[in-house]
Amino acid sequence: MKISDNEIANLLAQQAISQQYPWSTNDSREIENFFKFVIHELEQKSHVSSRVEWGNYGSGYASFVDAWLYRESSDFDTKYRPAQGKSYTGLVILLSRLSPYFALMEGEKSWGGIGGSSYMPQSDAIDDFPTPAVAELAAQVQPILESHGMIRLSHSMLDTSLNPKFNVPTVLTDRAFTNFDAVFYWED
C-alpha cells in the first residue's frame, strides 16, 4: 500500500481520501452511521458485545473510531482479574473516519466500581493477537468488514516511514512518523 504525499496532507487536514461512500461525503455523521450499521452486523454475526469510542476520547480529534469487540467468556478473560468490576481482552478495530482503511489489534479493558482502564492504539500492537480467541475473532470479522468495501492495513503496511516534511498532530507516538500515524492519529 502506498499513500501519496497528497493523500497524507489531506488526512492531516481531516479530509477524506476516498471516492467511496460514505467517506466521499466527508460527513462525519454519515460515516459514523455507516460504522454503527457495520458494528451492529459484527455483533450479530460474531456473537460479541462492543464498546465503541465515538467521542474522540473526550477531547480533540481522532481520525478513527475505536471499536472493541469481546465476549463475556473465559476465552476472553484477562490474566489479572480486578477485585470488583469486569476485565476482558478483546479485538480492537481501528476504523478510519477519512478512508476505507481499518487495522486490527488486541486490547484489554477493565471497568466497574470507581474506575476502569483501557489499552491505547499503538502501531506495534497491529496484527498482534496473543490470545487465541481474539485471533479467531479477527479472522471472523475481517471478511465482514471487507464485504462493506473496507480494506485491512497490516502492520508492515502501516510501519512505512512518512516523508519527514509531515508533522502529525498525534499523542499516540513518540518516534518518527509512519503511515500508522497519518491514518490513525489522535490530536488532543
pTM of the model: 0.95
CA distances from 159 to 51, 61, 175 (A): 27, 22, 11
Q: What is the C-alpha to C-alpha distance for residues 140 and 46, in angstroms, rounded to an integer? A: 7
pLDDT recorded at residue 59: 80
List the chain domain ranges: 5-187
Q: What is the C-alpha to C-alpha distance for residues 94 and 82, in angstroms, rounded to an integer? A: 26
pLDDT recorded at residue 79: 84
Residue segments in the chain with a per-residue pLDDT below the cut of 50: none
Q: What is the CA radius of gyration of the chain?
A: 16
pLDDT recorded at residue 60: 85
pLDDT recorded at residue 26: 93
* 39 in Cβ contact with 67 (< 8 Å): yes
